[in-house]
Structures are given as C-alpha cells and as structure tokens.
A = this chain, B = another copy of it.
Amino acid sequence: MFSGTNLPRIGTYNVNVVLSSIQAAEGISRVEIAQQTGLTAQTVSVIVRRLMENGIVQESGSIPSSGGKPRKALRINPKAAYAVGIHFDPTAMSIVVVDMSGQELDHSHHELSPALDPEALIEEAAEVAHKLLANAGIPRKRVLGVGAACPGPIDQSQGLVTSPPRNDRWTEVPIKRLLRRHIGFDVIIDNDANAAAIGERWSGQARSVPDFAYLYLGTGIGGAIFLSNNIYRGVSLNAGEFGHIVVQPNGAPCYCGNRGCLEAMCSSSAITKNVHAELALGRASTLRKLYQQDPTLVDHAAICLAAVKHDEISRRAIDRVAEYLADCAVTIANALDVELLVIGGRGVLQVGDIYKDKVTESLQSRPLARKTHTMRVAISEMGNNCAALGAAALVLHAKYAPNTAHLLSA
C-alpha cells in the first residue's frame, strides 16, 4: 500500500523533469529550468549536457536576460526520435507518424468493414506504418515505438481489449502481441480517450497543463483525467468514464445497463436517431431531400454541417447535446476542480464552437467554486486524427514524462 523510494529512481525522474520543462516551453534557459523545478543549477547543467549528447535536446536561439548576456534557448530536437500511432475504431483505422515534438509528419485513414478479421487488420496496420515511415525517410533505429489506441476497457498488462462495448470481434484479441510481431517495434496500448488526452497534453490544447479532464466524442463517449502530469487511471483502470454520467435521470437506456447516460443522450448515433425521428415526422429541414433519397446519407457529419448552417432541427439536436455536455462539465468542475476541460474526437468537427460556448457559459455560472476558479474549456484541434496522434504520444509520454509513481519502489 505504501511504497518507499531510492536514489537511482530519483536520477531518472529528474532527467524527465528537465526534459518535460523543455518540451512544455517555447525555448527555455538552464537558469529558468532550475527556477521552475527547484533543482540546483549544477544538476540541471549535468542533465542538459547528457540530453544534448544524446541528441534529444538542442540549443537554438537565445533568451534575453535582465542585466547579463542572453542565455541559450534549449529546445527539444524534433528529429531525435519518432513514434507511430494507430487508432483502431469499430468503423475506421487511422495511422500517423509523429516526430519527438508530437508533430504529425504523415497519416493514413482507412474506412473499415466491421466484418474484417482483427489479425488481418493488425497486419495491414503494420504494413501501412512501415510505408509511412519509409516515405518520411525515418531510419528504423530512430523509431521509439508504436502506440495503439482502441475503445476500452483495455487490459494493459495483457495488451488486449476486454469486452469492447461495440465490437465483439475484438474481445480478448492480443493486440499488443500481434502488433508487436507484425510491426517489429515495442507497442504500448491504451484506450482511445486516454490516448487522445495524452496527445493533447503532449502537443495540443493541454500542453503544459498538469491537471485537466478530457471528454472524447468518438463512436461512443469516453473520458480521461490528467492529474499532476499523468493519466489518473483509478483502482481498476476505469476512471474518467464521463460518458456514463447520468445527465437525464430515467432517460434513454444505455448499453451499459444504466439510463440517461451522457453517451446514451449525446453519442453520434443518438444525435442521428433524434434528427431522423424529426425528419420521419415530416418536419421542415434542409436535410429533408437527402433523407427522402436515402436516410443513411443523413449521418452525424451531415447533421453537424446542417446545424452550423442554421437547419433548425439539426441545430436544436446539437444545442440539446451542448446542454448535456455543459451539465457533465459542471459535474467535472465540482468533483475534480481541474484547470481545463478539453473536448475532442470526431464529434466536435463543425460543432465545436457551439459546444464550447454553451459549456463555457455553464462553467461561468454554475459550479460552486466558480468565483475562486473557473475551469476553462477548449476544443481539440486535432480533428479526426486525435486518437491516432494520441496513440503516438503514448510512446513519447511513457518514455519522457516524469511520473512520481516511478519514484516508488513497490
């Protein structure tokens, strides 16, 4: 229950503390690192020298200093290392290659037939990844590893998905082992929401924010919690399931067995179902023709586009979702009191600003401690690739982020 610590663990921890300070800044001096971290100037100097010898950190430009001569600016060398990110979703697969700073160098997106065999898909993912790496001219030895994001719940120790709610074929498929075999690099696996959150932390809206919550609007609705610079996972690794917070007591049944969950009311399929119901009643809508032609053409993307173009029933459906998201955000603020809520996933495409405005308004007027601290909200700018970019960030994060848990020996 309680774990002690020891000297070697401190060394690695402090290296990652310095590295993270550099990664979070747009150029930072040794003196500033020492001030920020509480480490001595000498310790910082020794660590920076080692990071520069390994090519991970470089000096580039300078920082004005009051009185003295300008100090050299330290930055991450983006070409020091690369990572691959793969997002397996029930309906699509996305693959990205990123550099050490988390910037995307190339990506590939594949719509999937749900009938596809998981192992065949994993093999295809490996082939595509090797092609992307070759196209970008990245040597094998510079690849730190591969991150894979899947709809949870994930068993990280076994590297597989346990009972995925929407995709039975993936139940207990040993993704990590199969992917490792086909791709030839180390593999880290995590659920899509956690991965996307780590992506935001590494190079998105939550860069340099140690404590934030993340709401992932994908096929379902997932979430993640970042505390003290690391994912908070909970005792059974199932924390942050904000999609199953009840926003409408006795509302629509959810596959989880509960009723009125955020996911049951606000998933892309719930939105589509609501708008289809209105269209079936013959309500006026710019989507009416398309619906008469083929209802399946009126999908979530079409509805979101119509909503921002002032189609009344689409806009009403999205506004209702915005209100439920706001209710959930208020609960997150009251319970977790974090700095920031990031909302991402393909569900925010087109309608992100509608969600942001409503959530912001609620966070300014409803949480108990809003006068002491108002939780900010940001919409992910990573678009459709957020979980794949996050999957790649899993690799960078695992290697370079300071983790107090690693200070402890048991």
Q: Is the CB of B38 within 8 A of A244?
A: no
A2 touches B402 (CB 8 A): yes
Contact A7–B5 (Cβ < 8 Å)? no
A242 sits at the interface (CB 8 A): yes
Point out the residues of chain B lying under 8 angstroms from A409, CB to CB: 37-39
**Does any Cβ of B come within 8 Å of A331's Cβ?**
yes
A182 to chain B, nearest CB (A): 28
Instruction: Name the distance in Å between A34's Cβ and chain B's nearest Cβ.
Output: 9
Q: How far is the CA of A44 from the CA of B284 in the complex (A)?
A: 76
The complex is assembled from copies of this chain, and their number is: 2
Could you tell me if A38 and B4 are in contact, using CB atoms closer than 8 angstroms? Answer: yes
Instruction: Among A1, A39, A241, find the residue whose CB has the most chain B CB atoms closer than 10 A.
Output: A1
Q: Which partner residue on chain B sits nearest A155 by CB separation?
A: B372
- Within the complex, which residue of B10, B43, B244, B368 is in contact with A368, where a contact is CB–CB below 8 Å? B244
Across the interface, name the chain B residue whose C-beta is closest to A242. B335
- Chain B residues with Cβ under 8 A from A248's Cβ? 249
In this complex, how many residues of chain A approach chain B with their Cβ under 8 Å: the count is 75
Residues of B within 8 A of A17 (CB): 2-4
A239 B335 Cβ-Cβ under 8 A: yes
Q: Which residues of B contact A234 (CB under 8 A)?
A: 211, 336-338
Known: A235-B373, A236-B373, A337-B239. A38 touches B367 (CB 8 A): no
Docked-complex contact A247 and B244, CB < 8 angstroms: no
* A234-267 CB contacts (< 8 Å) to partner B: 234-249, 256-258
The residue that A38 contacts in the complex, of B210, B365, B371, B408, with Cβ under 8 A, is B408
Instruction: Tell me if A153 is interfacial: C-beta within 8 Å of chain B.
Output: yes
Majority DSSP secondary structure for residues of A touching B:
loop
What CA separation (Å) do A327 and B407 show in the bound complex?
Answer: 37
Stretch in A84-92, A143-151, A169-177, A225-233 with 4+ CB within 8 Å of B: A225-233
Contact with B along A7-38 (1 / 0, CB 8 A): 10010011001101100100000000000111
The answer to whether A256 and B368 have CB atoms under 8 Å apart is yes
Judging by beta carbons under 8 Å apart, are B4 and A43 in contact? yes
How distant is the Cα of A52 from the Cα of B249 in the complex, in angstroms? 56
How distant is A403 from chain B, measured CB to nearest CB, in Å? Answer: 11
**Are B372 and A4 in contact, with the CB atoms below 8 A?**
no
Contact (A244, B404) CB under 8 Å given A2-B17, A257-B365, A409-B39:
no
B-chain residues with CB within 8 Å of residue A157 when the two chains form the complex: none
Asked if A206 is an interface residue, CB under 8 A from chain B, the answer is no
**Interfacial chain B residues near A241, Cβ < 8 Å:** 334-335, 337, 367-369
A13 to B4 Cα, complex, angstroms:
7
Binding site for B on A (CB under 8 A): 1-7, 10, 13-14, 17-18, 20-21, 24, 36-39, 43, 153, 162-163, 208, 210-211, 223, 225, 227, 229, 232-249, 256-258, 327, 330-332, 334-339, 365-369, 371-373, 402, 404, 407-410
Extra pairs beyond A2-B402, A235-B337, A249-B249 (18, CB < 8 Å): A2-B17, A2-B36, A4-B13, A4-B43, A37-B409, A162-B372, A211-B235, A235-B338, A237-B372, A238-B368, A238-B369, A240-B335, A241-B368, A242-B335, A243-B368, A244-B368, A245-B334, A331-B335
Q: List, sorted by A's number, 19 A–B pairs whose CB atoms are closer than 8 Å.
A: A1-B20, A1-B210, A1-B229, A2-B24, A2-B37, A3-B37, A5-B10, A153-B372, A162-B372, A234-B338, A236-B372, A237-B372, A238-B372, A238-B373, A240-B335, A241-B369, A242-B334, A256-B366, A256-B367
